[in-house]
Amino acid sequence: IALIKIKKRVPRMSLRNAIDLTGRRILLTGATGGIGAATARACASLGVERLILADAGPQEALDALCQELRDHGVDTVGHQCDVSRRQDNADLVAAAGELDAAVACAGICPLEEDWADDPDWDEVFHRVMDVNLLGPIHLARELIPRMASWGGGQIVMIGSIGGRMGGTSPIVQPHYIASKGGVHALIWWLAQRAAPQGVLVNGIAPGPIASAMTATTPYPKDQYPLGRIGEPEEIAWPAAFLCSPAATYFSGSILDVNGGLFVG
């Protein structure tokens, strides 16, 4: 009996790198911070067509980052924006025009106050919540219906390992932890409502990252699996990925990027 050799059919795979932002327009808040600036640079290196950068910090820092990216051939505009203000977000999104993706990087983490003894701590709590949690809510409120009308889009929100496990330094205050846990819950809530409209909402929960925010925070690095804290670029690349065509089946995901500090 003659044996018939059957050739196994192998599915064809595209060789195109889908982690490619060519032609995309991306908005970033908190753009001059460590993670924000690194994300802007990562997006620029992946061929983004236009970057809209927003920050509440010094205008000089925002102008310098915009000029740096323009010098590398990226169409970049900057806007002053306090994300805690609803109208600032509305003005920002209206000025940005049609967008493919947005990354909400703006955040604060005050360390000086003592939640148990400081009589003014409650005021600081409300400011942290206004920036870290109400800010992403304001942004999503403006973006989701517009992105739906444009045929879809991708939104990335920066949470924190603190929202997963209560923090990795004893001096981090509960307002920050509560705000980032709220960001995670917001991502899940928004994802369920936005996905049917073609808008994908995801997040990243970074471990401790070297930045101005963490420069004065003591971390027990020798107890960490990698023996160090992370670099801004190690969050920027996952953020850029979540803005790319390679992430079009992500919805309601929170990427834990923490060097093995939290596994769950």
Cα angle for residues 182, 186, 188 (degrees, 5° grid): 125
In Å, how far are 65, 69, 120, 126 from 50, measured between CA atoms? 14, 10, 42, 34
**DSSP code string of 83-106:** TTSHHHHHHHHHHH-S-SEEEE--
Active site residue 249: no
Q: 176, 219, 224, 249: which is the annotated catalytic residue?
A: 176
Name the one residue in this structure whose structure tokens are 């819950």.
Answer: 185
Task: Report yes or no: 101 and 46 within 8 Å, Cβ to Cβ.
Answer: no
Residues in contact with 225: Cβ distance below 8 Å, sequence separation at least 6, in sequence order: 259, 260, 261
CA 133 to chain centre: 13
Could you write out the DSSP letters of every residue in 4-45?
Answer: PPPPPPPPP---S-S---BT-EEEEESTTSHHHHHHHHHHHH
- Note whether 50 and 243 are within 8 A (CB): no
The single-letter code of the amino acid at 72 is H
Active site residues: 176
